[in-house]
Amino acid sequence: MLGKKIVLGAIATVLSFAASVAADSTIGSTPALVEFYAPWCGHCKTLAPIYEELGQAFSGKDEQVLIAKVDADAHRELGSRYGVKGFPTLKWFPKGVNGDPEDYSGGRDLDSLAAFITKKSGVKSSIVKVIPSVTILTDATFESEVVASGKNVLVEFYAPWCGHCKNLAPTYEKVAQDFINDKKTVTIANLDATVQTASAEKYGIKGFPTIKFFNADGTVEDYSGGRSEQDFIDFINKKAGTQRVAGGSLNTEAGRIAELDTLAEKFSKASSKDEKKAISDEAVALAASLTGTNSSAKYYSRFFEKALATPAYPTTEAARLAKIIKNKSVNRARLDEFSIRHNIISVFSSAPAAKDEL
């Protein structure tokens, strides 16, 4: 039989060979998935964060099912008793740790493990299914979604067993989410190079993960930058002309038009209403000429006219928009619009009242 040592505050129940569980009928009879691991094992270290998530997914359901692990290197007799010959080894104890186990031979990803436990125990996990933002490529779709797409496409060539690929996955998903509003010009994609071998061979993939950037102009280059979310964002902004920051928001330059910013600054410094009106008329005319090519121009027209009529408008509108932007319930598309408007009105927000308005 297995012994037990429950570490308080841990998500998974950690089992040891130190004490018997025979006297504890609850633990002894509760179905359990047990990982037999060794601290020095690389594959065990790769599995560790996934197994921790699995424990969290079934947290609070200890009376129904246990997610457990045992250091079989420290307790070799225990590993030998259950036929453990490599690490990590996963076994399912359908009648609790006092019963005979079944080998687990399924996938080592979170979804596969959770599905197995639910199938065996009837206990549902707390995992919320998130639709990935990363575009999944195949040999059949590579040409249309990458090469001939006319977009800027970042492609990760990966292998399911690759530890570095698994470590990169959550960051890569964040990057895909950050550019979700730029899907007309930017795609964040990946391809399983162990299955979609034709594309991998065509681009000379020899190690994992390999990341390549397919420019909208048809050229291809290796990505050799950092692997942080901000590193990827900075690279894509430079290549695609986007203006994102980590988290998916727009930066403070988004939507700004240099010629109109210059006029807004002159408007802010103007000392008379007549001078402000002349600048406003010039700006509105310029904005009208740019509206067909730059959608932000219309906001400048509106702001010049309102700032001329109500001197306090830039300050109050900037504060209102800032409050909206902080509201996390605003959808991503609308958030971009509010951010652009805030960027533009901020140029006006320090405008003093004209002398003949005091």
Over its C-alpha atoms, the chain yields an Rg (Å, rounded) of 29
Alpha-carbon distance of 28 to 1, in angstroms, equals 9
**Structure-block tokens of residue 118:** 């639910």
Instruction: Note if 301 is an active site residue.
Output: no
DSSP string for residues in 76-94: HHHHHHTT--SSSEEEEET
Q: Are 250 and 336 in contact (CB under 8 A)?
A: yes
The catalytically annotated residue of 162, 278, 322, 330 is 162
Does an H or E element contain 188, and which? strand 186-192
The catalytically annotated residue of 41, 180, 278, 330 is 41
Instruction: Note if 162 is an active site residue.
Output: yes
* SS3 track for 160-186: CCCHHHHHHHHHHHHHHHHCHHHCCCE
Cis peptide before 88 (omega within 30 of 0): yes
**Structure-block tokens of residue 103:** 């080998």
**Structure-block tokens of residue 167:** 């470590």
Instruction: Note if 313 is an active site residue.
Output: no
The catalytically annotated residue of 27, 38, 44, 68 is 44
Counting every residue written for the chain, the total comes to: 358
Count the neighbouring beta carbons within 10 Å of the beta carbon of residue 229: 20
Q: Which alpha helices (H) appear in the chain, and where do they start and end?
A: 25-29, 42-57, 76-81, 110-121, 139-142, 163-178, 197-202, 229-240, 258-269, 273-290, 297-309, 313-325, 332-348
Q: Are 265 and 194 in contact (CB under 8 A)?
A: no
Cis peptide before 209 (omega within 30 of 0): yes
The catalytically annotated residue of 114, 165, 169, 354 is 165
Alpha-carbon distance of 51 to 64, in angstroms, equals 18
Instruction: Note if 165 is an active site residue.
Output: yes
Count the neighbouring beta carbons within 10 Å of the beta carbon of residue 321: 20
Q: Are 313 and 267 in contact (CB under 8 A)?
A: no
10 Å CB burial of residue 221 (0-12, 13-18, 19+) is exposed
Active site residues: 41, 44, 162, 165
